[in-house]
């Protein structure tokens, strides 16, 4: 058997170190990209919340105005605030789902979010808000929501 010189072992160790470094850099880049995309998703949710806040300020119902294009509704200020808050909650939970899916939220926090989703999903008086929004949610998020117990079927 041939004896391998110390120089060969040092070169091999150096190559393995370089390869490990490249793998590490690749993983870091992948994680950075995932965080950047999640930040973009969160920014879009924040912009939409700002839009809903503008509706709040002028006492306008987001659902009737934006989704239904009905400008002749009659709701109290409190009803408008409630309905607009439900829209904001759906934007928040959709973003939370995305963050969780990217591994940026721990399991116990996600379970708490699921409880909140189930709660507003079962506010039967505003189920129409979910129904009109469902078509623009991701299929994965809709599947999560639709797997929850539905107290509004009765």
Give dist(CA 85, CA 65) in Å, integer.
15
Residue 2 has pLDDT above 90, yes or no: no
Q: Is the pLDDT of residue 1 over 70?
A: no
pLDDT, tens digit, 9 for 90 and up, residues 117-132: 999 999 999 999 999 9
Length of the chain: 154
pLDDT at 96 over 90: yes
- In 3-state terms the chain splits into helix, strand, coil percentages (rounded to 5) of 75, 0, 25
pLDDT at 5 over 70: yes
- H-type alpha helices, 58-126: 62, 77-101, 107-121
Share of residues in the chain with pLDDT > 90 (%): 51
Residue with tokens 């929004």: 133
Q: How confident is the model at residue 130, as a pLDDT?
A: 97
pLDDT in tens, 22-41: 787 777 877 777 777 777 77
**What's the rounded mean pLDDT across residues 9-29?**
80
């Amino acid at each position: 058997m041939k004896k391998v010189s110390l120089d060969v072992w040092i070169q091999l160790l150096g190559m393995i170190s370089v390869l490990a470094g490249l793998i590490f850099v690749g993983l870091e880049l992948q994680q950075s990209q995932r965080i950047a995309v999640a930040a973009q998703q969160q920014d879009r949710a924040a912009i939409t919340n700002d839009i809903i806040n503008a509706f709040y300020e002028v006492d306008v119902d987001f659902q009737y105005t934006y989704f239904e294009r009905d400008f002749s509704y009659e709701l109290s200020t409190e009803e408008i605030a409630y309905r607009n808050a439900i829209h904001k909650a759906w934007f928040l939970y959709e973003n939370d789902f995305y963050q969780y899916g990217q591994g940026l939220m721990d399991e116990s926090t996600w379970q708490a979010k699921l409880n909140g989703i189930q709660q507003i999903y079962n506010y039967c008086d505003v189920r129409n808000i979910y129904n009109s929004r469902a078509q623009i949610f991701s299929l994965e998020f809709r599947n999560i929501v639709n797997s929850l117990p539905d107290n509004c079927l009765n």
